[in-house]
Amino acid sequence: MKIAVFLPELLRHLFKKPATVDYPFEKLEVPPDFRGTPYLDPDMCIVCKACERDCPAEAIVITDVNPAEKRFRMVIHNDRCIHCAQCVDSCPTNPKAMRMDSLHEIAADDRHKLKAEWVYVRAVLKPKAAAPAAPAAPPRAGEKAS
């Protein structure tokens, strides 16, 4: 048994670059499949409530605003969201009405600020019809679309 078997490794590490990243100044990229924050594309939502039913954290709430106009309100409570993207998997439309972005620095000083809300008219999608092209810049969380 030798003394200080670990020493060569220790000395070698003196001349290596740090393994960590200088975080706030230098940021790592998230992978393409990263599950960030969920958001809604109100033009595609048929209000089937599959996302509301399957959300494990009960973070999605869909309520009637005006039944005559078929107007609904969806609130995503991002303070409860566990970022599992089950809402995206449950969404039956094509392209999906529920999507995930790649934001991860989403901390806020008040949980109520994390609420995202959309008021929209239910979309009527014809079966097999060419779905409208995905908008170039989808509305960001927190933005109100009417």
Partner 1 sequence: MSFEIPIGPQHPALKEPISLRMTVEGEVITNADIRLGYNHRGIEKVAEEKNWTQNIYLAERICGICSHSHATCYVQGVEKLMELQPPRRGLYIRYLVSELERVHSHLLWLGVAGHEAGFDSFFMYVWRDREIVMDLLEMITGNRVHYAINAIGGVRRDLDAGQKAKVLEGVATLKKRSEYYLNLGGTEPSFVARIAGVGRLSRELAIALCATGPTARASGVARDVRKEDPYAVYDELDFEICTADTCDVLGRVVVRIKELLESYKMIEQMVRNLPAGDIACKAPRKAKPGEVVSRYEAPRGENIHYIRANGTDRPERLKVRAPTLGNYPATVEMLKKGFIADIPLIFAAIDPCICCAERAVALIDARGGETAVVRMSDLRRQAIARHLNAPVKGNAAWPL
Q: CB within 8 A of 5, min separation 6: which ones? A: none
Does 133 bind partner 1 (CB under 8 A)? Our answer is: no
Which residues, 6+ apart, have CB-to-CB distance to 70 below 8 Å? 47, 121, 122
Instruction: Verify binding: residue 2, partner 1, rule CB under 8 A.
Output: yes
How far is it, in rounded angstroms, from Cα 140 to Cα 38? 10
- Residue 138 gets which letter from DSSP? P
Site for partner 1 contains 26 (CB under 8 A)? no
Alpha carbons within 13 A on the beta-carbon side of 78 = 24
Among 89, 95, 140, 145, binds partner 1 (CB under 8 A): 89
Phi, psi of 74 (to 5 degrees): -115, 130
Q: Which of 47, 48, 75, 84 binds partner 1 (CB under 8 A)?
A: 84
Strand partners, 118: 74
**53 touches partner 1 (CB under 8 A):** yes
Q: 86 or 118, CB closer to partner 1?
A: 86
Among 44, 72, 76, 86, binds partner 1 (CB under 8 A): 86
User: Binding to partner 1 by residue 19, rule CB under 8 A?
Assistant: yes
Q: Are the CB atoms for 56 and 84 separated by under 8 Å?
A: yes
Single out the segment in contact with partner 1 by CB under 8 A; choices: 39-47, 50-58, 63-71, 114-122: 50-58
Q: Which residues bind partner 1 (CB under 8 A)?
A: 1-3, 5-6, 9-10, 13, 19, 30-31, 33-35, 53-57, 82-86, 89-90
